[in-house]
């Protein structure tokens, strides 16, 4: 049972490594160290559980920008540069049009999210950030 309790700790470490741009070799080192000594079937179960715990979004580095209106290539490059500095790693945003945003953008990197839109400004203004 103790082995399965480690999954959350390992998942957080792997997520951090992936979000901050570690090389695949470093991530593999962590996985191999954590599964050393496990039998084949136990190792497979551990890896499946770990994979589902980390989540597909974190594994892929899930950086995206949702926008209303038009997103020009030079604006996308500026956003990537700005967020690369903010999170301390290279960010390559995948654009996605979102008509529900009112004149603005929403940037998601892993499980972090920033919204710069009229709707978000209005919610902050009225003090209803959780709306």
More confidently predicted of 16 and 120: 120
Q: What is the reported pTM?
A: 0.50
Q: What is the pLDDT of residues 35-60, one digit of tens each?
A: 888 888 888 887 787 776 665 444 44
Instruction: Give the pLDDT of residue 21.
Output: 58
Q: Is 50 exceeded by the pLDDT of residue 84?
A: yes
Domains held by the chain: number: 2
Looking at the fold, whether 115 and 68 belong to one and the same domain comes out as yes
Domain boundary among 20, 40, 56: 56
Instruction: Express as a percent the part of the chain with pLDDT over 90.
Output: 5
Give residue 117's domain range: 63-126
CB-based contacts of 7: which residues, under 8 Å, 6+ apart?
A: 46, 49, 50, 53
Looking at the fold, whether 122 and 67 belong to one and the same domain comes out as yes
Instruction: Give the pLDDT of residue 74.
Output: 93
**CA–CA distance from 63 to each of 103, 104, 108, 114 (Å)?**
20, 17, 6, 11
Looking at the fold, whether 69 and 120 belong to one and the same domain comes out as yes
Q: What is the pLDDT of residues 100-125, one digit of tens each?
A: 888 888 898 876 788 888 888 877 88
Q: Which two tokens stand for residue 79?
A: 């956003």
Which residue in this structure is represented by tokens 């929403």? 106
Looking at the fold, whether 35 and 88 belong to one and the same domain comes out as no
Which residue in this structure is represented by tokens 């654009």? 95
From start to end of the chain, where are the E strands?
A: 63-67, 94-97, 105-109, 112-116
């Amino acid at each position: 049972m103790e082995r399965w309790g480690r999954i959350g700790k390992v998942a957080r470490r792997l997520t951090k490594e992936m979000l901050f741009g570690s090389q695949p070799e470093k991530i593999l080192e962590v996985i191999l160290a954590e599964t050393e000594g496990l039998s084949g079937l136990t190792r497979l179960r551990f890896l499946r559980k770990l994979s589902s715990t980390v989540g597909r979004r974190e594994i892929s580095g899930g950086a995206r920008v949702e926008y209303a209106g038009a997103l020009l290539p030079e604006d996308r490059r500026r956003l990537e540069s700005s967020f690369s500095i903010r999170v301390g790693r290279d960010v390559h945003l995948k654009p996605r049009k979102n008509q529900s945003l009112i004149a603005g953008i929403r940037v998601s990197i892993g499980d972090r999210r920033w919204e710069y839109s009229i709707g978000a400004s209005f919610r902050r203004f009225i003090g209803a950030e959780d709306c």
